[in-house]
Chains A and B, each alone.
Chain A
Amino acid sequence: GAGVSQSPSNKVTEKGKDVELRCDPISGHTALYWYRQSLGQGLEFLIYFQGNSAPDKSGLPSDRFSAERTGGSVSTLTIQRTQQEDSAVYLCASSLDNEQYFGPGTRLTVT
Chain B
Amino acid sequence: AQSVTQPDIHITVSEGASLELRCNYSYGATPYLFWYVQSPGQGLQLLLKYFSGDTLVQGIKGFEAEFKRSQSSFNLRKPSVHWSDAAEYFCAVGPASGGSYIPTFGRGTSLIVHP
Cβ of B28 under 8 Å from chain A: no
- When distances are taken between beta carbons in the complex, the residues of chain B under 8 Å from A20 are none
- Interface residue count on the A side (C-beta < 8 Å): 23
The complex places the Cα of A19 from the Cα of B39 at a distance, in Å, of 26
The complex places the Cα of A33 from the Cα of B44 at a distance, in Å, of 13
The complex places the Cα of A75 from the Cα of B101 at a distance, in Å, of 18
Q: How far is the CB of B94 from chain A (nearest CB, A)?
A: 7
Do A42 and B43 touch across chains, with their CB atoms under 8 A apart?
no
The complex places the Cα of A98 from the Cα of B92 at a distance, in Å, of 12
Interface size on B, as a range, is 20 to 34
Q: Which of B41, B102, B105 contacts A56 (CB 8 A)?
A: B102
Q: How far is the CB of A101 from chain B (nearest CB, A)?
A: 8
- When distances are taken between beta carbons in the complex, the residues of chain A under 8 Å from B95 are 98
Cβ of A12 under 8 Å from chain B: no
> Given A91-B44, A104-B43, is A98 in contact with B105 using a C-beta cutoff of 8 Å?
no
- When distances are taken between beta carbons in the complex, the residues of chain B under 8 Å from A95 are 101
Chain B residues with CB under 8 Å of chain A are 32, 34, 36, 41-46, 49, 51, 90, 94-95, 100-108
17 contacts between A and B (CB under 8 A): A33-B102, A41-B107, A42-B90, A42-B105, A42-B106, A42-B107, A42-B108, A43-B90, A48-B101, A56-B100, A91-B44, A93-B43, A98-B32, A98-B51, A100-B34, A104-B43, A105-B42
